[in-house]
Structure 1
């Protein structure tokens, strides 16, 4: 079999394993993303070695140069995984309308800011305390920032709470978290200095200033001008004769903004996310969502499997590594609960301020897609070593596991859900 065949076989194994593990997780009422990550851990080079390792035949195709074969193999898999995360953030953007965010008002912004500041401060302080470099500390703290929109939205939808005021605040704040998390990632990249430190030289400060201006200008231009252009001209897409023209146009916009974002020194996912947000204003929004979903279901699992495959579970057998994972998990959970609760102070609902603060705090706990993207970038760039990266993967898995049952328990006897649950029972009958 030629090299292309071996790559396709690897992708096939990754895809099938992702779907099997995801199905198991769904059946036990856990997010599918956990199964996809665990599939990567199990099949990766650190355990079974079924994926991520070039075969002997693949190596022979490169003249028995194992190193060159390994680099080529990694490049192909990494490219497919990167395409998956670009599509993922584009899809998330499609489901995020600016009008929906503005409806949550300043409360969501306050929750987002507090939910970023507290876990970031805790994460940075802890990593600095254990004598990690400033760059590693900042990168680790950044991973602790982003809330998983998908996990929280799924739980709220399942229990009929998606229309509650707390739910709107949680989802609005989670999206803001993701955007600010990607901005922080971009700034951290500009601050990266030699030897794993953060450069505060005049040149570095100039780079940071340029990055911030570029980021603000890019976001303002895409959101401000892009929305108007899309809103005005999207109606003409139906006049195109080629089949699938709106879908092709949308994917073209996503890839173009991802490329432009990367060229400006931002993460490519920033451009993809913004592309989704401006296209969410188009008349064909729901049609595009339906067309992008199969593409997302095909490529996104590859990203999560590839992320899981980078994790070496054996490092957790080391007591200090397990302790690091436990500490980061506790800080991640406590940081979001405290940050979310602080942001919700004074918010009045029929169940009382205290319970509302608890619901919002717990709802902000799950980490997910954006955090994994940041951790993966840090690991690939050599900023995060295997120990820290594996600890962050464990933190992501645990926060994603513990938040849904805690949120269900908080909302189990909420009188506001009774009409929704009765309506659901009638519809099932």
Structure 2
């Protein structure tokens, strides 16, 4: 008689939970992401270090950013890069720099302070992108700015992770290691540009010749996972690799053929990422360093608001769109979890509580962003169209 709980049964139950929670989120008007994370926290003991769930979550997050990358061809991404760097540097200063300084004022040592700064730095790419998609805000004027900030953070966050991992393991993070990391990022990006301009130039014609949808799914998802995996092999984020893979295929022009094939698989796999994310949050016993915790959460929100309000106009956004962007960037997530894995003891419990509270606060602010903006700036003025009357 088998006593082990079958993985197949577990996978089936998780999919049924995903269906139920997705259905429930529509009824009670709470983002499904929140319910998925809560499910992960509840099932943390049963799903701890579950390789099947972890693998499914990796596929989900990779496909999410692969599809986002499809919206940005090389020309558009180049234009965005020129405009985002002032706001990106402001983000590093406010969320990483100031948070590190606050932690030092609370008598943490330099390493612990920098670790807290790293945890508070990066907006959750997965939560933010999912909410943008779910709430139909992909076409909003501020969305390009939000996505540009997320990509900028995905470039900086691996450097922060490498420094922390190096110091925590007793090694020194040398200037050579820093330039090596930057070189990998530049190299991976240049490779994506070259492949996009050469190999995928006539890819649309090739796709049209594939009549069997099964083969098409294998090809497109294989490209996304391979480039995401290459990024991991180089010690970078799979999110960055997946985005670049999408950017390569964006060169074909008509991306709807790719999207229609990949969307169903992404929608099936993505909820598992948030469940897995929930299993990694260690709530622990009690609330350590409550004064620092409250201060950092409040400052985390203020920092992203400043980033939106000040950085948005740098990017060419209106005051209204800039505020909406700032309110939409407050959730923390996957990079914070990676960085928090370096922490030990009380600091690990502190990190888990921070990530949980910041993720929820960020999602609530995202949901309320349009209403808050309307309360401050009023209803947007509709532009009058100059209609010509026949015969004028």
Residue by residue over 1:391-411, the C-alpha shift from the partner in whole angstroms, topping out at 9 and shown as x without a partner, is: 112101111112322422323
Q: Report the equivalent of 1:84.
A: 60
**Aligned pairs, how many?**
376
SS in 2 for 1:298: helix
Q: Does 1:172 align with 2:144?
A: yes
Distance 1:4 1:254, change over 3 A: farther
Matches within 5 A, 1:27-426: 27-45=27-45, 51-52=46-47, 74-98=50-74, 101=77, 108-130=84-106, 131=108, 133-134=111-112, 136-144=115-123, 148-152=128-132, 154-155=134-135, 157=137, 167-168=140-141, 170-192=142-164, 196=168, 200=172, 204-240=174-210, 242-283=212-253, 285-315=255-285, 317-318=286-287, 320=288, 322-345=290-313, 355=320, 357-363=322-328, 365-367=329-331, 371-380=332-341, 385-411=348-374, 413-416=378-381
Residue by residue over 1:270-321, the C-alpha shift from the partner in whole angstroms, topping out at 9 and shown as x without a partner, is: 2112112222332552122122122112211111101112223454x42x35
Distance 1:385 1:355, change over 3 A: same
Distance in 1 (CA, whole Å) between partners of 2:81 and 2:180 is 30
Residue by residue over 1:366-411, the C-alpha shift from the partner in whole angstroms, topping out at 9 and shown as x without a partner, is: 42xxx42212323456577233123112101111112322422323
SS in 2 for 1:30: coil
Instruction: Decide which moves more: 102-111 or 335-344.
Output: 102-111
Q: Report the equivalent of 2:18.
A: 18
Deviation at 1:338, TM superposition (A): 0.9
Q: Report the equivalent of 1:426.
A: none
Question: Does the CA contact (< 8 Å) of 1:40 and 1:305 recur in 2?
Answer: yes
What TM-score results when the alignment is normalised by the length of structure 1? 0.75
Instruction: Decide which moves more: 335-344 or 114-123.
Output: 114-123
Q: Report the equivalent of 2:389.
A: none
Distance 1:112 1:149, change over 3 A: farther
SS in 2 for 1:229: coil
Distance in 2 (CA, whole Å) between partners of 1:237 and 1:103 is 28
Distance 1:193 1:180, change over 3 A: same
Distance in 1 (CA, whole Å) between partners of 2:115 and 2:41 is 23
Deviation at 1:222, TM superposition (A): 0.5
SS in 1 for 2:6: helix
Deviation at 1:105, TM superposition (A): 8.3
What TM-score results when the alignment is normalised by the length of structure 2? 0.81
SS in 1 for 2:333: helix
In structure 2, the gaps of 5 or more residues are 385-392
CA RMSD of aligned residues (A): 3.4
In structure 1, the gaps of 5 or more residues are 46-50, 54-72, 420-429
